[in-house]
Chain A
Amino acid sequence: MNAIRRRWALRPRAGRLERANYKWIYLFLLPTVIIFVLFYAVPIVQVFVTSFTRWDGFTDPEFNGLRNYINMFTNSAFLQSLKNLFLWCLVAAVFHVGFGTLVAFVLFYRPRGWKLTRAVFMIPNVISAAAWAMIYRFIFNNDFGVLNTIIRFFDPDFNVQWFYQSPWAFWAVTLTWLFYAVIVTLVVLGDLMNIPSELGEAARLDGATGWQFIRHIQLPLCRGAIGTSVIVSLTARIAMYEQISLTTAGGPGNDTMSLSILLVNGILDYRYGYANAVGVVMFLIGLVILFVVNRLFRMDETDY
């Protein structure tokens, strides 16, 4: 409390001219505030409120306490989807962001063939997730898919239905998004390009090797960008729908079940209250991720 008071006291008092401009500042903020309230705040509050109701989406919601949450947490599909989400988040944070960062360094240092790398990496990223899901259905097809055709050169009897057999389905779905990390690359590349060249010169004078320069100077200075990439990647895993719906629909069994699939199933059964309870859990997980990554990457601290 004292710290807040001190910080407040340290703020310079606004001048007369600045105070006179406040009304114009507020006026120009008004459209943004209206949009935020109408299209973000109100729906979020509605989702929270109706998650405690029995609601078919058409008639008036009836308050049913924690029933939707109890049903949710006793549903094996929900528990499996939480487990899947945790695993996908781990894979995304380590491999997806790692791969995107690696490509950012390749594009930054421009080794021989970097333009080809850029083209090969960027072009698939402009294809929608839904289209990729369909393409992967062909790639992983047991009869004529590229993958199994290649494997059968070495093992003619090889037969795996990648999207429809445990435990392969989980990894097959993972591959539909794992290497498409263009956002990570662009964000990290932006930070890399902003590192002052004097730092590099000073490091060279001090005898730092290339790897030491990357490890002790560039990577720490890209901390904010990498943290942002982790947040973007993890929240994308929470909302991931097309890649699952168009390939495994959550199967086989519940192997690739996700919260988004459960939410849509709730709507299919006119259980909007339950669907919104799933939505609340997705929202809260997103907030937790935001908080944890912010703390881990110390994103509120400046580097320069």
Chain B
Amino acid sequence: MKKKLTALLLACLMLATLAACGGTGDPVASTPAGSDSPDDSAGPSGSDSPAEVIEITIPSYKTGENVGAVFFEPQVERFNELYEGQYHITLESVPQDGFNDRLKQLAQQDMLPVLVQGGDVDWMANIAFPNGMAYDLSSWLDETPAVKDLLLDDGLAYCTNEDGTIYSLPLATVRPTGFFYNSAMWNPSEDLSALSMDEFLEVLGDQKIAFSTAENGWVAALFLTALIAAEDGGIEWLQSGVEAKITDFNNDIFINAVTKLQALLQNNAASNSIGAAYADAANAFMSSQAALISNGPWMSADFAEANSANWRNGFNGADVRASLFPGQVGIATTSCFGEWWISASASEEEIELALAFLEFVYSPEELEAYLLAEGGDAPKLDYSDDFRAQQGETQVLADLAADTTEDTVFAPCILDMIPASVANSDFGRLLPSLADGTYSPAEFAEWMTDAAVAATTE
């Protein structure tokens, strides 16, 4: 009997051990989703003790070494200082590459953070928002004209649903992407953004361009977007992808643009461009192997003296100038979701905190600080004199600000307008074959069409 009892106890112990191994070890993890989930709150939620500090944790990729951390981390600290004793935000560092997947995982577990920093656009539009995962911001925006009056019209229209609900807070700033050039290697006298694309290519001559053709081919995609925008009807074609992803590339607009891109890849690409990831392209530019690189204004931080350790072959960040693309084209998507939304499962106190944070981020002082750090424009904001004076101190941001006028044409990046798998994988996968001539522009277009159709066929 004793033996049997011991064996039974041992079996129970084994089961209990296995069950314990499967758990997270976090006592909070098994609580119902919502206010007290571990990712939502690192401290007391305060419903029973309103005097206590309301704390939340935000998963963010703008932390650590990420280029966005330079501005975002201090911004959160400023918020915490402003609301000391009332609210506190803690950042949870998530690598940018896996950030969208992390959000999806949290959503599947009904453990979305209170404040959600973006996410996969398709997922937000088709899964998260229609399934009630987001808090409706429309009433708050109506009660907070200081924020609503700053929002971009296109963005507000895009984010407003048919029933009037607004889940993603529309952007107040636009950061048109152009290109940077090393004036020590190439110093054209023309106003580059005022030229036509053909004139620009003539002025460019045999100067080298840093391209990335691996990963999603980001730098090549930006150039391709500019080439498409320069074609008749190109901008309208790109914008057609805002409503429904583009799946047909067999047209003159795309094929003509790809023909020019192929010529650039074959004649003007820096030597490391084939198979280059974004970091390789940036290295080519910052080691004077290429005179041009296309990227957003956030890259301006790389040209500051503080980052001179990354410069090679006599490259000097002070020599870098910036321009929008020929035809005054700036690559920016204004009809899009904003950076922030709030989880519908958050408690009232947490929503109160989240709204306070959004109001803080959209305050004129913070918007100006953001534009000074990362460039761009807030069309509906009356800039202070201090801001205008400081904006001129960073040469490339001043160049872009000078180019951004009422005549600027905004074109959405092609990667945002095509199905996700085509943008993330297929496009970059075929660029090397376009560069070495294995595929003609027409074949490239056909191949992209096949991939996009396959990605959207159910």
Contact = CB atoms under 8 A, between A and B. Distances in A.
Contacts of B450: 76
Contacts of B213: 164
Contacts of A274: 458
Interface stretch (B324-332, B407-415, B427-435): B427-435
Given A76-B450, A268-B420, A59 B127 contact: yes
Interface stretch (B154-162, B270-278, B305-313): B270-278
Contacts of B447: 253
A8 interface: no
Interface stretch (A22-30, A103-111, A215-223): A22-30
A252 B421 contact: no
A24 B458 contact: no
A54 B131 contact: no
Interface string A29-47: 0110011000000000000
Contact of A265 (B7, B421, B432): B421
Contact of B455 (A54, A67, A265): A265
A161 B432 CA distance: 9
Contacts of B436: 161, 164-165
Contacts of A294: none
B429 A59 contact: no
Interface residues of A, number: 42
B433 A28 contact: no
A270 B122 contact: yes
A30 B7 CA distance: 13
Contacts of A253: 429-430, 433, 438-439, 447
Contacts of B425: 249-250, 261, 265, 268
Contact of A270 (B107, B126, B438): B126
B428 to A, nearest CB: 7
B424 interface: yes
B430 A35 contact: no
A163 B429 contact: no
A242 interface: no
A269 B7 contact: no
Interface stretch (B11-19, B67-75, B250-258): B11-19
Contact of B421 (A28, A35, A76, A268): A268
A237 interface: no
Interface string B321-360: 0000000000000000000000000000000000000000
A64 interface: yes
Contacts of B387: none
Interface string B102-125: 001001100000000000001100
Contacts of A35: 18
B11 A30 contact: yes
B271 A164 contact: no
Contacts of B457: 71
B101 to A, nearest CB: 9
Interface string A226-249: 000000000000000000000011
Contacts of B458: 54, 64, 67, 271, 273-274
B428 A58 contact: no
Contact of A31 (B15, B214, B432): B15
Nearest to B289: A143
Contacts of A31: 11, 14-15, 18
Contacts of B439: 253
A298 B350 CA distance: 65
Contacts of A261: 425
A251 B18 CA distance: 43
B432 A56 contact: no
Nearest to A24: B7
Contact of B433 (A54, A57, A251): A251
Contact of A161 (B104, B126, B275, B429): B275
Contacts of B271: 143
A238 to B, nearest CB: 20
B375 interface: no
B11 A28 contact: yes
Contacts of A71: 454, 457
B178 interface: no
A164 B457 CA distance: 28
- Residue of B8, B215, B271, B432 most packed against chain A (CB within 10 A): B432
Nearest to A27: B11
B419 interface: yes
B428 A164 contact: no
A161 B265 CA distance: 14
B456 interface: yes
Given A75-B454, A252-B429, A268 B108 contact: no
A269 B15 contact: no
B429 A248 contact: yes
- Residue of A58, A67, A76 most packed against chain B (CB within 10 A): A58
B127 A251 contact: no
A150 B131 CA distance: 58
A58 B127 contact: yes
A28 B7 CA distance: 9
Interface in A32-90: 34-35, 54, 56-59, 64, 67, 71, 75-77
Contacts of A166: 433, 438
B455 A269 contact: yes
Nearest to B428: A249
Given A27-B7, A161-B432, A249-B425, 19 more contacts: A27-B8, A28-B14, A31-B18, A59-B127, A71-B457, A75-B454, A163-B275, A164-B213, A164-B274, A164-B275, A164-B436, A250-B425, A252-B432, A252-B438, A265-B421, A265-B426, A269-B455, A270-B122, A271-B455
7 closest A-B pairs by CB: A251-B429, A164-B432, A265-B421, A268-B421, A252-B433, A58-B127, A164-B275
19 contacts: A24-B7, A28-B11, A31-B11, A31-B15, A54-B458, A57-B108, A59-B131, A71-B454, A161-B274, A164-B432, A248-B429, A249-B214, A251-B432, A265-B421, A265-B425, A268-B420, A269-B456, A270-B126, A271-B458
